[in-house]
A and B are shown apart, each in its own frame.
Chain A
Amino acid sequence: MTLWMIGNMAAHSVPSTLKRLLFAVKYSPLQSRCCAVQREAQYSTISIPSEKTFDKILIANRGEIACRVHVKMADEAVCVGSAPTSKSYLNMDAIMDAIRVTGAQAVHPGYGFLSENKEFAKRLAAEGVAFIGPDTHAIQAMGDKIESKLIAKAAKVNTIPGFDGVVKTAEEAVKIAQEIGYPVMIKASAGGGGKGMRIAWNDEETREGFRFSSQEAASSFGDDRLLIEKYIDNPRHIEIQVLADKHGNALWLNERECSIQRRNQKVVEEAPSTFLDPVTRRAMGEQAVQLAKAVQYSSAGTVEFLVDSKKNFYFLEMNTRLQVEHPITECITGLDLVEQMIRVAKGYQLQHTQDDIPINGWAIECRVYAEDPYKSFGLPSIGRLSQYQEPLDLDKVRVDSGIQEGSDISIYYDPMISKLITYGATRAEALGRMEDALDNYVIRGVTHNIPLLREIITHPRFVSGHISTNFLPEVYPDGFKGHQLEADAKRELLASAAVLYITAELRSAKVLGTQRVASTPVECSHWELCVELGEERQDVEISKSGTVYTVEMDGAKVEVWGALNLASPLLPLTINGTQRMLQCLSRDAAGVIVLQYLGTLFKVRVLSKLAAELNSYMPEKVSEDTSSILRSPMPGTVVAVSVKPGDTVAEGQEICVIEAMKMQNSLTAVKQAKVKSVHCKPGETVGEGDLLVELE
């Protein structure tokens, strides 16, 4: 179920540019979550009332993206098909129909989907509808990785060796890889960013990478071509935002540091980069502009570079669209990129010169994903957002999302919940705000990556700016394990849990209304409890005086003050004089309290001393042996099953492939064994934890 909406531009912050917007959203009704940092930062854009505007613009994309394109409310919606993207947002016929039905004069493609599809741009041109983006030839030139590299070379832009084109067989891929020299990276030519990108260090991995990438190329982009190129080890991913008009003017709007990635997808971005000096920045910016001019680029675009530790930079690719992380550039430059794109599409000249482009302050963006960061830094998770609260009451925080409480996160789309952007005069200020914003962000019903995001932005290596695209695997070689509590922090957590427990106990004992049989009031201000965290048990004494709880454990005292609201997911506490925002996810009768503290979820169990003593008699319940069963680690669709009952599989051998959120994941055997039974077949939809294959 997919909807298109048409927005009334009355709510636009730059109202003269256009009157109405038309855009696609997945969720209806839609409420915009765009809180503009820029409203305070002030765009440097000058509205010119005499400029003629588009009356109606179609935004061919999903809620969070459409919403970003400055819409408060939409007033028309068109369904473009069922959930799978190939039947909706990638369905050009349906979109063209939508344009005709609504009479839109221009189309903003957002990002992803058809944003860099030259075919789409062509069809729009044929209908006389303006495409808010570069001209077809630029999309074609830059969308094609071979051509873009040739053009880049010709434009004197640094490039890295590689091959791009149709690769027919795995062996051909291996040959190309050997010519370039390992390591190489393989991806679908048409895919943007790192989506579907795979690194191969040997022939075997090349074959596997070829298989995945070619399948993905066909299923996600409808274009079989592959890109194979030299992989630069330990690089930074830094990109330059460019903006060009149809009159040959082009600007570089500084860089975005996007090195924090998992599986080659960006997680945390910032602008500017801590790494670039003005000279390098200018060199990169100028090369980016040279490239834009070489293809007579108009509109906003991004030139991606890999930067090595010596500040050598290589052209990676150019994205001929607005990018997910564009808000951080808006924050530091004060330009509204969407507005500029629309003006350019209408044929106006740029309002700025290169000297007008400042770097004001620092901006950070975290991509909040519906995924489990404990599995490979993030495997998709699905569910219904039973509770959802964005930290919009915080200063200089912007959240771009297309979802709201009650929305379903399905397996059919990218698992991004929102982009969380904070801004500050300095990097430290922006980071501090991000910490607060993450702590105040309430997401329930799906597993999300806030634990990982918060760990990244507070990690000493990140804070010092010492990062590369290998940051995550280097910092967490054994995978992400959540925040590791130090003694003080642990005491604070346990004390908070104990206080929450006591608050609930006291409330239970307070029965309102007149009672036939008088109840015995519980008048207690001192408790002895036992708090468990993992394997650890801690005896705790609590005394209450007014609203202050003093929690003693291990010979140390923790003072907790807070007006605890047992209905609220947020628990603002003052612990030993420091304000902390904890979140309570659940609290059950058996004393189990799940708290989010410093971003990570901790399961704490609070019991009375008596219950804790007696609990030692309770038997440990044995859980099932998981080495011989393969369960789906995430919800998705079974693409291929490589084994049948009776087969013998080697350790590490592929058993089946699950596609979720447009990513293909190969599931392998953890031990050598004979296949006992297979419980799934290709095309089937499976849920997280569903039994797929049993081994003997």
Chain B
Amino acid sequence: MMAAISVARSSCGLINGLKVSLRSVTRVKYGAVSATVPQTSLHRSCRWYSVSHLSVKERIDQKRQAALQGGGQQRIEAQHKRGKLTARERVQLLLDPESFVETDMFVEHRCADFGMEQDRNKFPGDSVVTGRGRINGRLVYVFSQDFTVFGGSLSGAHAQKICKIMDQAMTVGAPVIGLNDSGGARIQEGVESLAGYADIFLRNVMASGVIPQISLIMGPCAGGAVYSPALTDFTFMVKDTSYLFITGPDVVKSVTNEDVTQEELGGAKTHTTVSGVAHRAFENDIEALLNLREFFNFLPLSNQDPAPIRESHDSSDRLVPSLDSIVPLESTKAYDMLDIIHAIVDERDFFEIMPNYAKNIVVGFARMNGRTVGIVGNQPKVASGCLDINSSVKGARFVRFCDAFNIPIITFVDVPGFLPGTAQEYGGIIRHGAKLLFAFAEATVPKITIITRKAYGGAYDVMSSKHLRGDVNYAWPTAEVAVMGAKGAVQIIFRGKENQAEAEAEYVEKFANPFPAAVRGFVDDIIEPATTRKKICQDLEMLASKKQVNPWKKHANIPL
């Protein structure tokens, strides 16, 4: 994969300065076409028509044709050989048939150095395809980087095209989807390219919380370029063909002497299981794009819009008897929170976000009676469902997305507390845990909480408790809201006393049930698990008109 090596080098350029990038320019495969490379007939014709006296109409047609060809047939074939689709094929597949409206098909790069000014090095549209279209009839703006043109590298013109559709998406109020497949900065353009990145970054930041932004990484994305996906709301990846890293394996080797492959360093598996940079990974381009369509159905177009409602075939008052027996009688025994979620939501349809990262918390989108909801649940199956650094951050980011885009949040609680230990304390569990607390507390969307079993200690407060403005808080009969588990509590209360077992039994009798919370009004009701779906659907109906405003501020200062 020569392309990827070039990525590493160009990214190194971005980090270490322009000088390095320029030095590496001769080694970059997807740099300018050098004079010795045989020219394709297309290139020849390009040069030919630029000096001929064709009518404007003919020239328009020719440019359009050239734009549709991207980097030419050979490069398209090479792209296919890598198991990747071209930028245009991707757009076609992502959007409804015939809905794509392209912008800036005639934009060309403006670089005049290193022979780039020659006609054969100019491609109408440059290395990105931009425009708008529809997904299931709903408006969306799209950019799709074209790896067949200079390895999809980002020129000033390329950046400008992306910025243009982002600006329009902001004024209209519609999401932006980026399909990333780029070798990095257009090194020939030097600082122009860096400026282009920054222009995009700024727009990503301005758009954050205004319109949903989704990145799908479908090839290399390295160096400074990674920060655009990082700033968007969701980053998805394609397995085996996409990479995200700040510096490639070569630089890593020279700086830290670590031997690491591209896949290990920044492949889909790494980012969906270890780093938490990406939210989901899909088998190939087709599956990724089709899933993206499905995902898009959950999202509102902007923060001006309510969560979308789809026709539901699943009745809102469906009882779920299987839930009555799902929580094991032994409180130490695990169960799968996903079973509860699947059984409750419409049609068992749950789009999980980050399913393989920080698995002790489950987050994702579903529908209740057709209406999109965000689901957060502790996962007793993994690390007893405790909160730790990674799960807090995962949960917090998801909650904030839902709050920003008017998506009601349903929280299933079975949490024994925060994870103890030096690793967590040194890692800053205090400030990271605070993020989740902050996110739930500031959220003003409808918040419904169901305590299925344990809700211990500070973690109880954090998990969308009544005290953090939970709108409706339920407890199942198996709920235990307490400062801590019986054993620990008894050891403190009755320290040194004999008959600990008896004391423990007494504590369990008193506190290991929903009553202490219910008598204080900290839960609104104790409900039969089978009725949970019905109750939530009714509550969401009522909460649809909820209005709650936080005090005016420039912005809050969430602990980062």
* Contact (Cβ within 8 A) B321 A406: yes
* Contact (Cβ within 8 A) B173 A517: yes
Given contact pairs A386-B343, A567-B347, A589-B290, A517 touches B321 in the complex (Cβ within 8 A): no
Q: Note all chain B residues with C-beta closer than 8 A to A589.
A: 287, 290-291, 293-295
A547 at the interface (CB under 8 A from B): no
* Contact (Cβ within 8 A) A617 B80: yes
Q: Note all chain B residues with C-beta closer than 8 A to A565.
A: 313
Closest to B333 in A: A1
8 Å CB contact of A516 from B92, B284, B301:
B301
Q: Of B9-17, B247-255, B303-311, B447-455, which stretch is located at the interface?
A: B303-311
8 Å CB contact of A508 from B80, B136, B287, B302:
B136
8 Å CB contact of A510 from B173, B311, B348:
B311
Residues 149-195 (chain B) with a chain A CB within 8 angstroms: 172-174
* Contact (Cβ within 8 A) A522 B137: yes
Residues 395-447 (chain A) with a chain B CB within 8 angstroms: 404-407
* Contact (Cβ within 8 A) B99 A520: yes
8 Å CB contact of B137 from A519, A614, A615:
A519
8 Å CB contact of A566 from B291, B294, B336, B347:
B347
Q: Note all chain A residues with C-beta closer than 8 A to B137.
A: 509, 511, 519-522
Judged by DSSP, the binding face of A is loop
CB distance from A3 to the nearest CB of B (A): 10
CB distance from A359 to the nearest CB of B (A): 40
Residues 538-592 (chain A) with a chain B CB within 8 angstroms: 565-568, 589-591
A512 at the interface (CB under 8 A from B): yes
Q: Note all chain B residues with C-beta closer than 8 A to A567.
A: 312-315, 346-347
* Contact (Cβ within 8 A) B310 A406: no
Q: How many angstroms from the CA of A568 to the CA of B312 in the assembled complex?
A: 11
A507 at the interface (CB under 8 A from B): yes
Q: Note all chain B residues with C-beta closer than 8 A to A591.
A: 290
Residues 461-481 (chain A) with a chain B CB within 8 angstroms: none
Q: Note all chain B residues with C-beta closer than 8 A to A614.
A: 85, 89, 93, 285-286
Closest to A569 in B: B348
B323 at the interface (CB under 8 A from A): yes
* Contact (Cβ within 8 A) A512 B310: yes
Q: Note all chain B residues with C-beta closer than 8 A to A218.
A: none
Q: How many angstroms from the CA of A192 to the CA of B407 in the assembled complex?
A: 59
How many interface contacts (CB-CB < 8 Å) are there between A and B? 130
Q: Note all chain B residues with C-beta closer than 8 A to A517.
A: 138-139, 172-174, 301, 305
8 Å CB contact of A507 from B99, B282, B311:
B311
A499 at the interface (CB under 8 A from B): no
* Contact (Cβ within 8 A) B313 A566: yes
B125 at the interface (CB under 8 A from A): no
8 Å CB contact of B134 from A513, A520, A611, A619:
A520
* Contact (Cβ within 8 A) B309 A512: yes
Q: Note all chain B residues with C-beta closer than 8 A to A608.
A: 97
8 Å CB contact of A590 from B89, B286, B315, B326:
B286
Closest to A521 in B: B137
Q: How many angstroms from the CA of A243 to the CA of B395 in the assembled complex?
A: 65
Residues 323-355 (chain B) with a chain A CB within 8 angstroms: 323-326, 329-330, 336, 339, 342-343, 346-348
Closest to A509 in B: B136
8 Å CB contact of A619 from B173, B282, B284, B309:
B284
CB distance from A433 to the nearest CB of B (A): 27
B96 at the interface (CB under 8 A from A): yes
Given contact pairs A519-B139, A520-B134, A590-B290, A618 touches B310 in the complex (Cβ within 8 A): no
B83 at the interface (CB under 8 A from A): yes
Q: Note all chain A residues with C-beta closer than 8 A to B285.
A: 614, 617-618
B283 at the interface (CB under 8 A from A): yes
A610 at the interface (CB under 8 A from B): yes
A282 at the interface (CB under 8 A from B): no
Given contact pairs A508-B136, A511-B137, A520-B137, A384 touches B339 in the complex (Cβ within 8 A): yes
Q: How many angstroms from the CA of A605 to the CA of B401 in the assembled complex?
A: 33
8 Å CB contact of B339 from A386, A520, A611, A617:
A386
Q: Note all chain B residues with C-beta closer than 8 A to A515.
A: 301, 305
Residues 470-497 (chain B) with a chain A CB within 8 angstroms: none
Q: How many angstroms from the CA of A648 to the CA of B435 in the assembled complex?
A: 56
Q: How many angstroms from the CA of A332 to the CA of B169 in the assembled complex?
A: 73
Q: Note all chain A residues with C-beta closer than 8 A to B310.
A: 507-508, 510-512
Instruction: Count residues of chain B with CB under 8 A from any CB of chain A.
Output: 60
Q: How many angstroms from the CA of A384 to the CA of B323 in the assembled complex?
A: 12
B229 at the interface (CB under 8 A from A): no
* Contact (Cβ within 8 A) A508 B346: no
Q: Note all chain B residues with C-beta closer than 8 A to A516.
A: 173, 301-302, 304-305
Q: How many angstroms from the CA of A94 to the CA of B53 in the assembled complex?
A: 102
Q: Note all chain A residues with C-beta closer than 8 A to B65.
A: none
Q: How many angstroms from the CA of A513 to the CA of B174 in the assembled complex?
A: 17
A385 at the interface (CB under 8 A from B): yes
* Contact (Cβ within 8 A) A513 B172: no
CB distance from B365 to the nearest CB of A (A): 12
Q: Note all chain A residues with C-beta closer than 8 A to B96.
A: 520, 522
A683 at the interface (CB under 8 A from B): no
B370 at the interface (CB under 8 A from A): yes
B322 at the interface (CB under 8 A from A): yes
Q: How many angstroms from the CA of A568 to the CA of B84 in the assembled complex?
A: 36
Q: How many angstroms from the CA of A651 to the CA of B254 in the assembled complex?
A: 49
Given contact pairs A516-B173, A517-B173, A1 touches B312 in the complex (Cβ within 8 A): no
Q: Note all chain A residues with C-beta closer than 8 A to B283.
A: 590, 618, 621
* Contact (Cβ within 8 A) B136 A522: yes
* Contact (Cβ within 8 A) B321 A619: no
CB distance from A187 to the nearest CB of B (A): 36
Q: How many angstroms from the CA of A508 to the CA of B312 in the assembled complex?
A: 10
Q: Note all chain A residues with C-beta closer than 8 A to B330.
A: 1
Most A-side CB within 10 Å, residue of B80, B99, B284, B336: B284
Closest to A385 in B: B322
* Contact (Cβ within 8 A) B342 A386: yes
B270 at the interface (CB under 8 A from A): no
A89 at the interface (CB under 8 A from B): no
B297 at the interface (CB under 8 A from A): yes
Q: Note all chain B residues with C-beta closer than 8 A to A358.
A: none
Q: Note all chain A residues with C-beta closer than 8 A to B305.
A: 515-517
Q: Note all chain B residues with C-beta closer than 8 A to A566.
A: 313, 347
User: C-beta contact mask, B70-94 vs A, less than 8 Å → 1, else 0?
Assistant: 0000000000100111000100110
* Contact (Cβ within 8 A) A512 B286: no
* Contact (Cβ within 8 A) B284 A618: yes
Q: How many angstroms from the CA of A516 to the CA of B173 in the assembled complex?
A: 9
8 Å CB contact of A404 from B295, B309, B321:
B321
Q: Note all chain B residues with C-beta closer than 8 A to A388.
A: 322
CB distance from B73 to the nearest CB of A (A): 14
User: C-beta contact mask, A495-525 vs B, less than 8 Å → 1, else 0?
Assistant: 0000000000001111111011101111000
CB distance from A607 to the nearest CB of B (A): 8
* Contact (Cβ within 8 A) B346 A617: no
A113 at the interface (CB under 8 A from B): no
A248 at the interface (CB under 8 A from B): no
Most A-side CB within 10 Å, residue of B293, B312, B322: B322
A27 at the interface (CB under 8 A from B): yes
A28 at the interface (CB under 8 A from B): yes
A29 at the interface (CB under 8 A from B): yes
CB distance from A426 to the nearest CB of B (A): 37
Complex A-B, nearest 10 residue pairs according to Cβ-Cβ distance, in ascending order: A406-B322, A589-B294, A567-B314, A619-B83, A519-B137, A567-B313, A405-B322, A512-B309, A618-B284, A590-B287
Report 12 cross-chain contacts, Cβ distance below 8 Å, ordered by A residue: A29-B324, A406-B321, A507-B313, A511-B310, A512-B310, A520-B96, A567-B314, A589-B293, A611-B286, A617-B80, A618-B285, A621-B283
Question: A509-B137, A511-B310 are known contacts; what are 17 more A-B pairs with Cβ within 8 Å?
Answer: A384-B336, A386-B348, A406-B326, A508-B310, A509-B136, A511-B308, A515-B301, A517-B305, A519-B138, A566-B347, A567-B312, A567-B346, A568-B313, A590-B286, A610-B93, A618-B286, A619-B284
Q: Which A positions have Cβ atoms within 8 angstroms of B?
A: 1, 27-29, 384-386, 388, 404-407, 507-513, 515-517, 519-522, 565-568, 589-591, 607-608, 610-611, 614-615, 617-619, 621
